[in-house]
Amino acid sequence: MKPIKTAVASFGLSGQVFHAPFLDLHPGFDLVAIGERSKDLVRQRYPDVVRPASFEELISIREVELVVVNTPDVTHYDYCRMALLSDKHVVVEKPFVFTVTEAEELTALARKRNRLLTVYQNRRFDGDFRTVKQIRDSGRLGRIVEFESDFQRYRNFVVEGTWKERVDRRVGMTYNLGSHSLDQALVLFGMPEGLWATVDILRDGGCVDDYFHIVLLYPRLKVTLRAGYLMREQGPRFTLHGTAGSYMVYGIDPQEEELKAGALPGGEGWGSVPESQWGILNTDAGRTRYPTLAGDYRLYYDGIYRTLRGGDAPEVSHSQMTDLVRLLEACFESSETGRTVRF
């Protein structure tokens, strides 16, 4: 089957790290265009691709089948709509959009135009999360009663002049990292019955939220999601408790840092961590290190290829995309009112 001719909308961090390298190396895709307005980075790394200076120019390229919308978050709704109306398939970076109304409008438009619209949820393919899912599915812990997820970072300063630090809650940590945490919870447990959250600005001089603590309510199951920029001494990344045991893992999936350092996906040991960083599984059979599965973001675009060329259902469904936006809106409602939001 012929490769999918693909355009990446911008060549910032996500374009350079999470999209272009994977699309360029994947035999099922033909990277034909990357949007770039002023810098000359694209030509240095991908000299054969077209470099449209605007999104309008990019979606006007007739041969392009798939557009990756990885532009600033506030542009996602407009650019997804424009691409769909140009009969392009769309992969959009998280957060998808900012309101359920926007999510429902775009998913309805995609169905009407018979085009793929899905969100880039690469952290479904983090090694530690894949391992959590494997352990959950294995039944080794019995009935799961508690799950905790922590994104712990230390950046006690504010980077001025970037779109991610302006006064707009849509570009803060909750919509950014919360999109990953909530998506992982949806994958593991589905839509909760309710949600309680606190969202705050803790750094001196901060303009956008840089901390969240979210509690998702399920029958006989407690799910806690937390992230912050003032966590120098870090605790577990994931904790899973069940009626027959527990699992705990520290650290963070290595793929992002490897990609930032210039590594290409798929090299020897890609996405793996040493045994010293494996998590701990504690059951009646004993307490032991449990092998962490290798992370592999290539699996995301493998799925996109199977969807567009083989007819498989997309990895990230419209209902999951819309439910995630519903949860994000509820986080701010709960934080502002101090009340639990029920679904």
The predicted pLDDT at position 215 comes to 98
Q: Is the pLDDT of residue 259 over 70?
A: yes
Q: What's the fold here for domain 4-120?
A: Rossmann fold (3.40.50)
The predicted pLDDT at position 305 comes to 98
Provide the β-strand partners of residue 225. 149, 214
The predicted pLDDT at position 155 comes to 86
Query: The pTM is what?
Result: 0.95
Nearest C-alpha neighbor of 73 from the set 213, 207, 186, 169 = 169
For CATH 3.30.360.10, the residue range(s) in the chain are: 123-299+326-342
The predicted pLDDT at position 171 comes to 78
The predicted pLDDT at position 250 comes to 97
The predicted pLDDT at position 66 comes to 98
- Average of pLDDT values for 24-52? 93
Nearest C-alpha neighbor of 30 from the set 53, 49, 57 = 49
163-177, 192-206, 249-263: least confidently modelled range: 163-177
| Residue pLDDT, tens place only, 106-132 | 999 999 999 999 999 999 999 999 999
| Residue pLDDT, tens place only, 91-100 | 999 999 999 9
DSSP letter, residue 94: S
Assign 84 a pLDDT band (cuts: 50, 70, 90): very high
- Average of pLDDT values for 245-254? 97
Average pLDDT, the chain: 95
- Average of pLDDT values for 202-223? 94
The predicted pLDDT at position 153 comes to 86
| Residue pLDDT, tens place only, 155-186 | 888 877 655 555 566 779 999 999 999 999 99
The structure tokens listed for 79 are 């650019």
CA angle centred on 35, ends 34 and 37, rounded to 5°: 140
| Residue pLDDT, tens place only, 1-34 | 899 999 999 999 999 999 999 999 999 999 999 9
The predicted pLDDT at position 16 comes to 96
CATH of 123-299+326-342, one of 3.40.50.150, 1.10.15.40, 2.60.40.10, 3.30.360.10: 3.30.360.10
- Average of pLDDT values for 34-38? 88
- Average of pLDDT values for 305-313? 97
Nearest C-alpha neighbor of 165 from the set 176, 178, 154, 180 = 176
| Residue pLDDT, tens place only, 217-242 | 999 999 999 999 999 998 999 999 99
The predicted pLDDT at position 170 comes to 73
The structure tokens listed for 113 are 């135009």
The predicted pLDDT at position 169 comes to 64
For CATH 3.40.50.720, the residue range(s) in the chain are: 4-120
